[in-house]
Each structure stands twice: as structure tokens, then as C-alpha cells.
């Protein structure tokens, strides 16, 4: 296997109610990634694109094919990946192999979504299709309900008073908004307080509004290149050192493990082992904080904390810059926004910029960061992890 | 790159109005493929699944994850591919690389669709989302309209009287139904005559009902294995000798080339070159006959005929068993049926069985066939080609 580097990145603003189409958003992010890689569209040998709801949100399927046409990558192979919120990370892991194997030297990969077109209540119902929609959705399992259940299970399993856990969860939200304030692409650039989180309206007991990330519109893209090609294109290549992916299946199949998502433990082990790193080697992490409790659960399976204790990381500010493991310095899904099929590419964008040391101006730089981790959760339990390393 | 073989195959009946869910259909085809490979679900290291309309047809996205759970492939990576009608072939090409590169030894790949749930008129409108849905669909470009346009352009470009072309197209349909009669999985097992085709009702001038394939429900799957693994599992491995893929983009971007689809010429060249074969080396071909004119257009770009002359292949029965290039001996999409996201896997299923010599009992065996070609068209111009070889 050859080494594969991220050589350029692109990212649109994440917003609600974008007036642009998916194709426009994805073209914008893609061209930014291509131009910042010192490349032209005709240099791209293949396209990999994450997208979930394109047919529902604007009646356009197979976005990748129109993307290839729109940005001038004529007749290249272009594939769409769907793995719910993990779609773009799934596409990046796949694109990685096409370069690592020697099949292609330079490829474009990213994701896009217009998730706000439907309005929030309908979006939640629509997105429940990426749960088990035959048996579990009719029983009330939308995603807020799923994570509400996990919150109760977590409090119970680890003997943590629910009020205590909710305070820790509120701290997750507060930190995300604090960093998101300085992310120019973020959807919600405003600070919140623990009090404000705990006084926001109840969505699905015990999850309140500010425990929940929004749906968003936006796109992100990266260009991957072989080591040899990368060295000609950039003096700051960031290598994909390890990848992992696993699917847990429906909620009821996971009842013995919950609130842990076993797929994450399987997936991140693959990524760590391939990269030859351990959790303590990770300098900065973007993880899938679709709900505040999701951050706490993820941090444990990723190896950053004992099980039942991750809330303390946020409580003790160990997840901030300067802490033990800086997490979601982008603002995370909570503040930056969550355009479903784009989220994984946005995470890789963020970690790449951290490892290149480019976030000083935004007061969000984790100084000296060399190894970063991306963690994306799709649906009930599809996990994709990517370890990135600056060398 | 390692050699990659198809070691087992599975196929449900293709029907209209199936009472089974997508998950049930895909599980059935998958378990058939696994069992016929002398394997168990726990031997499968990764899953690749084509699916297009799952969220529309039954409100279930991310089918691959529930498939992994349902058949007992716990915590494996499972990815969904969408490239309209070419989704499953796209998944197979991708799965091929994961084995060829040495990353996995044994993987499951296939596709599934329930395309009849919506009823035909709504299905045609729904499927137009896999056209350019912003500019071209509102101008009337559903898929029947697209192929009607190509029929007119073809007749005009090659100075063929439309009535003559329509007779050749009718012969395509007649042959498909003749072979489909003997395919136990086929949706329409009845013979038709040229007269019957030409008297069927007009769908989109000049395409009549029997020029058009149906939408269908069904699934197909194959197990791919490295050469080393394959030799332990079967004494009839069929190798993936070459793969190709290309995207043309929207119709209006292709106006200079039409009725030729340039993406097919790009894609099949990749597949032929990788396999080290020429069109005359192909012993049997399954090509994408979504409309009768599509077969004629495809046969030319695949190199089986001069441009403007492929109708004569069917006219002179050169596409039948014993002819120059046996095409769609399965009955093709026209008679066998077209469950969109499953079609490519069904084509690979058919060619694999041809190359293994297993269709004697169905009176559909191309005797001594050693090299086969799969051709799948998705939307306006996504093409995936696969060359298979028995050794």
C-alpha cells in the first residue's frame, strides 16, 4: 500500500436555508479543494461523494455524476456513498484505498447535503429512515429518542445521577459553542451557558434543544494524492495513517452493549492499528456530537476516558485546547452545523487544517498537533474513523 | 494487484409487487451467494450494496447496515453505492479493488430494489430524479423521453428510416422475451412477436410499451474472493479480469456525441485494456437494455458492430446463442426485469453462470464461453463495465 495524503481542502459555510443547490454547494467546496491543491479539474482521476437526502431534499439523485460534469471532470468514474451521517467519511475511506492501492494518483472526495429544506420536524421524520424504519421507527425511535434512551441507560449503568450527567452534557454544548464562535463556516456563532442549555425546551426527555445539533446545508471536499504526487503539490501533506469502519445494525440488536456502540470500538481499533497509534497519541479529535451525550459516549469508545467517566473530561476542561485531548475545536456538529452527507468531509477538513497549523488566526489552533482522529457515526451504529498524521 | 474471483452467486426472483421487504430480498440473495460459496456469514469481511430508491419505496435508507446485522455479519464495514441503474455494478467494481489490493480476502457485494411499490407512472417520475432534475426533468426528460430522443437522433444520424429502426428494435425485444422464457427468475416469461411490439401502446414517440423494460423488485449478490481463497472454495472460479467506470453528466452536456454515450466508450476501454481483451474476444455479454434502442446503441460502443449497424446484429440473429456475440441470454432487463439497484449484480450473476457452464438445463448456455462482459448504464450516462473470465 502506498501512502496517501490530503493535499487540498474545501468547505462552504454551513447554514440553514441555503439558496444554493446541492450541486452548487458541492461544486464550490470541490473547486476550493482542487485549486488549493494547485490542481485543475482535469487532474482529478475519480470522484467519491457522500450524500444522503438529495432525492428527498431537492429531487436530485446521483449528485456525483452532475458534479463531475459541472466542475469539468469529464468522464471520470464518480460514485455516491450513503451511510447516513457517516456518508462522506465512508467515501473518504474508500477513496483512500483507490489511491493507496496504486489505482489512482489524485482523486476528489467529499460530501454535500441540503438538510434544512424540509423544515426540522419533517427532517427528523425523514432522517428516521436511516434507523430501522420497519420495526423501530414506528415504535418511536427517531434519533432524538435513540439518544435520549442512551442518556438514561448511561446514567443508570454508571450510577451517575441524571442531573449530574445533564450538567456534563451541557458543558459539552457550552464548549462547542465557544469554539464555534471563531469558526467562520459555523452555523451557530454564539456563546451559550450551562444555564441556557438546561433551560432550553425539552425535545425528548432528558434531551433539551441545546443538547441537539441542528440539520444544516453545506458541503466539504478534500483532494487525496499518492505520496509522490503529494510532495509535488504541497509542502504540508497530511497523511491518512489509518482507517476503520464497522456497522452495528439496528438498535435492538445492540441491546446488550448499549450505551456503548460496539461498532465504534471495532472501527477505531482498525484505524489505530493501521496507523500504529494509541489513544494517547491523538493530539486533536473531531468526533460525532449529534447530541451532547453522543460526545461523552464516543470519547470513551475512542479510548480517551474510562467508561462512565468521559463527562469529567469536559467538566475539567480537558477537551479544550491545552487539555488532555482537544475535541471538536471546530465547534462540532452542535455549533458548526451538521449537513449530514458532508459532515465527515468537514471533520477531515478541520483535522487537516489543525495538523497544518492553519488555525492560529481563528484562535483555534492546537499547537504542535501532529496526529488527529476523525470519528463519524451514521444512523444507529455505522462508524467510520480516520487517523491523520502530519509528517 | 491480486486476482479476484466470483466464488458464489445468489439471485431472487424478479417480480412486480413483491411482498418481501428490501432487507428480506437482499438477505435471501446474499445468503444464497454465501452458502453457494461454501462459506458462512462470519467469513464475510466487508459488504458493498447497491440501492437507489430504498428510502422512497419503503422508507428504509442505509439498507447495507441492516443487511449486515440481518444475515449475521456483525460489525463488518458495509457501504451503500448509488449510481442509479448502475449502482450494483459500481459496488462490484469497488468491492473488486478491496480484494485486489489485498485489504480483504472475502467480501459480499450485490444490490436490491423494490421499484414497483410506487406504481409505474410515479416510478417514472421518481426515477427522473436520477436525471438532471433541476433543468432537464422539468423540460420533459423522463427516461422514456431521453431514449425516444436517442431513437430519433440515431435514425437521423445514420440515415436509417425510422420504420426500419423500429423493426430492428422490435427484434431486440422479441429475442429478449424468447430467452427470458427459460430463465426461472425472469419477471415476464412469455414470447412476443415483432407485430405485437409494433402494436403495443405508444409511451414516448417512437417508443412503444414493448420497447421499454419494466421496473421490478428483486436482489442479486455475489461473493468475491482473492485467488488464493477462491481456489479453496470452488473448482470453478470466475475471475474479474477488467473493470471500467465513467460518468457523462447531464444530457445537454453530451449533445455533440449523442446518440453515442461517450462514457461507455471510456469505461469499456478501461475494462478491455485491464483484461487484455478486445471486443471479438467476448463470448457472451449482458448489456443494459432499459429500452430496445439502448441495446443497439450499447452494442456499438462496446465494439460489437460499426456505428449505425448494430440493429443488423439482432436482425441477422448474431446476438443469439451460436451467433457472433450472444447478448442478453438472460432475457435482459426487458424480460428478466429491472430492479434498479440490483440489475448490475444480476448481470454478473448471469455471466458467472454462463462462464461456469451452468445454464445447459435452462437451454440458455453459450457453449464454451470463457470471457464475458457486463455493461450497466445508470441515468444519463454513468457506465460501469466488468470483464469476467473463466480459467
Give DSSP secondary structure letters for A130-150.
GS-TTTTGGGT--HHHHHHHH
Contact B64 A83 (CB under 8 A): yes
Q: What is the pLDDT of residue A123?
A: 82
pLDDT lower than 50: segments of chain B: none
Of B81, B93, B247, which has the smallest distance from its Cβ to A65's Cβ?
B247
How far apart (Å, rounded) are the C-alpha atoms in residues A361 and A251? Answer: 42
DSSP letters along B212-264, please?
Answer: BPPP-EEEEEEEEEEHHHHHHH-SS-EEEEEEEEEE---GGGGTTTTTS-HHH
Domains located in chain B, CATH noted: 4-119+214-390 (3.40.47.10)
- When the pLDDT of each residue in chain A is averaged and rounded to a whole number, the result is 96
First to last CA, chain B: 18
* Among chain B residues, CA nearest to A253: B69
How far apart (Å, rounded) are the C-alpha atoms in residues B318 and A359? Answer: 65
pLDDT class for A85, splitting at 50, 70, 90?
Answer: very high
Q: Which one of A46, A75, A381 would you mutate to disrupt binding with B, by most B Cβ within 10 Å of its Cβ?
A: A75
Q: Which one of B247, B260, B383 would you mutate to disrupt binding with A, by most A Cβ within 10 Å of its Cβ?
A: B247
Lowest mean pLDDT among A213-227, A302-316, B105-119, B354-368: B105-119
Q: What is the pLDDT of residue B101?
A: 98
Contact A97 B98 (CB under 8 A): yes
CA dihedral A177, A179, A181, A186 (to 10 degrees): -80
Bridge partners (DSSP) of residue B246 are: B383
Catalytic residues of B, which ones? Answer: 85, 338
Of A47, A64, A378, which has the smallest distance from its Cβ to B62's Cβ?
A378
Please give the sequence-ordered ranges of beta strands (E in DSSP) within B143-237, or none if there are none.
Answer: 202-204, 207-208, 217-226
pLDDT class for A70, splitting at 50, 70, 90?
Answer: very high
Q: What is the pLDDT of residue A391?
A: 83
Contacts (Cβ under 8 Å, ≥6 apart) of B5: B224, B225, B226, B227, B230, B234, B237, B238, B239, B240
Lowest mean pLDDT among A12-21, A118-127, B95-104: A118-127
| pLDDT over threshold 90, residue A120 | no
Q: What is the pLDDT of residue B120?
A: 66
Alpha helices in chain A (DSSP H): 22-36, 54-58, 63-70, 87-100, 120-127, 143-157, 162-180, 194-198, 227-233, 262-275, 292-301, 310-315, 332-336, 343-356
C-alpha cell recorded at residue A323: 487539555
Q: What is the pLDDT of residue B113?
A: 97
Of B58, B65, B246, which has the smallest distance from its Cβ to A75's Cβ?
B246
Q: What is the pLDDT of residue B118?
A: 77
The ipTM is 0.98
Contact A249 B69 (CB under 8 A): yes
Q: What is the pLDDT of residue A172?
A: 98
Report the percentage of chain A scoring pLDDT > 90.
93
Chain B nearest C-alpha distance from A282 (Å): 23
- Cβ atoms of B238 and B8 within 8 Å: the answer is no
Contacts (Cβ under 8 Å, ≥6 apart) of B64: A83, A247, B47, B48, B49, B51, B78, B79, B80
Q: What is the pLDDT of residue A25?
A: 98
Chain B nearest C-alpha distance from A187 (Å): 26
Condensed to tens digits (0 to 9), the pLDDT of residues A254-293 reads 999 999 999 999 999 999 999 999 999 999 999 999 999 9
pLDDT class for A156, splitting at 50, 70, 90?
Answer: very high
Average pLDDT over residues A291-315: 98
Q: Strand B217-226 to strand A382-390: parallel, antiparallel, or no bridges (unpaired)?
A: unpaired
Contact B58 A134 (CB under 8 A): yes
Contact B382 A248 (CB under 8 A): no
Q: Is A338 a catalytic residue?
A: yes
How far apart (Å, rounded) are the C-alpha atoms in residues A78 and B253? Answer: 16
> Which residues of chain A neighbour B21 with C-beta distances below 8 Å?
134
Sign of the CA dihedral with A210 first, then A215, A218, and A221 last: positive
Contact A250 B64 (CB under 8 A): no
How far apart (Å, rounded) are the C-alpha atoms in residues B292 and B383? Answer: 17
Q: Which residue has the cell 452534557?
A: A169
Question: How many other C-beta atoms can be found within 10 angstroms of the C-beta atom of residue B236?
Answer: 17
Contact A61 B84 (CB under 8 A): yes
Q: Strand B47-50 to strand B106-114: parallel, antiparallel, or no bridges (unpaired)?
A: parallel
How far apart (Å, rounded) are the C-alpha atoms in residues A62 and B266? Answer: 19
Q: Strand B284-286 to strand B371-378: parallel, antiparallel, or no bridges (unpaired)?
A: parallel
> Which residues of chain B neighbour A134 with C-beta distances below 8 Å?
21, 23, 58, 60
How far apart (Å, rounded) are the C-alpha atoms in residues B44 and A224? Answer: 28
How far apart (Å, rounded) are the C-alpha atoms in residues B273 and B217? Answer: 34
Chain B nearest C-alpha distance from A269 (Å): 12
Contact B129 A55 (CB under 8 A): yes
- Cβ atoms of A348 and A6 within 8 Å: the answer is yes
The three-class DSSP label of residue A381 is: coil
Of B58, B62, B378, which has the smallest distance from its Cβ to A130's Cβ?
B62
Contacts (Cβ under 8 Å, ≥6 apart) of A387: A240, A241, A242, A243, A271, A272, A274, A275, A277, A282, A371, A372, A373, A374
Amino acid at each position: 500500500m502506498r501512502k496517501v495524503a490530503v493535499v487540498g481542502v474545501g468547505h462552504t459555510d454551513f447554514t440553514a436555508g441555503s439558496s444554493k443547490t446541492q450541486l452548487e454547494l458541492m461544486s464550490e467546496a470541490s473547486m476550493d479543494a482542487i485549486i488549493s491543491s494547485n490542481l485543475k479539474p482535469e487532474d482529478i482521476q475519480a470522484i467519491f461523494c457522500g450524500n444522503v437526502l438529495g432525492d428527498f431534499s431537492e429531487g436530485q439523485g446521483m449528485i456525483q455524476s452532475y458534479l463531475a460534469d459541472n466542475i469539468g471532470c469529464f468522464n471520470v468514474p464518480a460514485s455516491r456513498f450513503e451511510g447516513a451521517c457517516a456518508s462522506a467519511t465512508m467515501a473518504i475511506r474508500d477513496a483512500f484505498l483507490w489511491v493507496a492501492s496504486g489505482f489512482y494518483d489524485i482523486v476528489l472526495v467529499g460530501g454535500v447535503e441540503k438538510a434544512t429544506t424540509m423544515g426540522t420536524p419533517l427532517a427528523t421524520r425523514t432522517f428516521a429512515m436511516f434507523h430501522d424504519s420497519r420495526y423501530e421507527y414506528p415504535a418511536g425511535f427517531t434519533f432524538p429518542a435513540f439518544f435520549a434512551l442512551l442518556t438514561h441507560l448511561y446514567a443508570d449503568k454508571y450510577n451517575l445521577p441524571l442531573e449530574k450527567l445533564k450538567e456534563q452534557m451541557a458543558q459539552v454544548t457550552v464548549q462547542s459553542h465557544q469554539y464555534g464562535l471563531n469558526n467562520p463556516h459555523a452555523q451557530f456563532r454564539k456563546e451559550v451557558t450551562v444555564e441556557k442549555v438546561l433551560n432550553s425546551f425539552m425535545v425528548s426527555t432528558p434531551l433539551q434543544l441545546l443538547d441537539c445539533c441542528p440539520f444544516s446545508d453545506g458541503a466539504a471536499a478534500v483532494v487525496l494524492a499518492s505520496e509522490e504526487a503529494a510532495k509535488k503539490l504541497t509542502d504540508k501533506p497530511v497523511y491518512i495513517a489509518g482507517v476503520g469502519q464497522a456497522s452495528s445494525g439496528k438498535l435492538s440488536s445492540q441491546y446488550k452493549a448499549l450505551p456503548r456502540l460496539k461498532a465504534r470500538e471495532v472501527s477505531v481499533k482498525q484505524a489505530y492499528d493501521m496507523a500504529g497509534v494509541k489513544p494517547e497519541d491523538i493530539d486533536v479529535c473531531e468526533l460525532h456530537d449529534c447530541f451532547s451525550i453522543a460526545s461523552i459516549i464516543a470519547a470513551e469508545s475512542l479510548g480517551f476516558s474510562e467508561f462512565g467517566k468521559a463527562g469529567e473530561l469536559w467538566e475539567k476542561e480537558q477537551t479544550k485546547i491545552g487539555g488532555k485531548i482537544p475535541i471538536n475545536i471546530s465547534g462540532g456538529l452542535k455549533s458548526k452545523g451538521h449537513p449530514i452527507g458532508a459532515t465527515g468531509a468537514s471533520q477531515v477538513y478541520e483535522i487537516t487544517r489543525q495538523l497544518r497549523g492553519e488555525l492560529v488566526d481563528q484562535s483555534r489552533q492546537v499547537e504542535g498537533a501532529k496526529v488527529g482522529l476523525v470519528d463519524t457515526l451514521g444512523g444507529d451504529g455505522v462508524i467510520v474513523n480516520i487517523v491523520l498524521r502530519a509528517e
